[in-house]
């Protein structure tokens, strides 16, 4: 699957799961796996880091 931003190959691991974040190795954009059905994967823009994020 290719990056929606820059079209580089994302190299999503086969065991990646819904909710996991995929970073484009070329442009650095972050995507979240929104749906995964076998090899069909739907991505959405990952949330940006919030002020309340952390531990």
Partner 1 sequence: MSRVCIVFDRLRTEEKMLQKEASELGCECVMRDAKTTQINTDTKAGRDFGDVALERCVSYFRGLHFTACLEFLDVPVINNFAVAGICGNKMFMTARLKKSGVPTPKTYFSFSGEAAAENAKETGYPLVIKPVIGSWGRGVMPIRDGDAMDAILEIRGVTDGPHDRIYYMQEMVKRPPRDIRVITVGGAPVAAMYRRSSGFKTNLALDGEPELCKITGEIGELATRASEAVGGGILGVDMMEDESRGLLVHEVNNTVEFKGIAKVAEQNIPRAMVKFALDLVRK
- The token pair that represents 40 in the structure block: 């069909």
Nearer to partner 1, 7 or 18 (CB): 18
Smallest distance, partner 1 to C-beta of residue 30, A: 10
Smallest distance, partner 1 to C-beta of residue 31, A: 12
Chain contacts with partner 1 (rule: CB under 8 A):
17-21, 32, 46-47, 50-55
| Sequence-separated (6 or more) residues with CB below 8 Å from residue 44 | 31, 32, 34
Judging by beta carbons within 10 Å of its beta carbon (0-12, 13-18, 19+), is residue 44 exposed, middle or buried? exposed
Smallest distance, partner 1 to C-beta of residue 2, A: 22
């Amino acid at each position: 699957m290719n990056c929606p931003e820059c079209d580089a190959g994302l190299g999503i691991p086969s065991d990646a799961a819904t909710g996991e974040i995929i970073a484009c190795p070329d442009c650095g954009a972050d995507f979240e796996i929104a749906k995964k059905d076998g090899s069909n994967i739907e991505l959405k823009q990952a949330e940006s880091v919030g002020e309340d994020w952390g531990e």
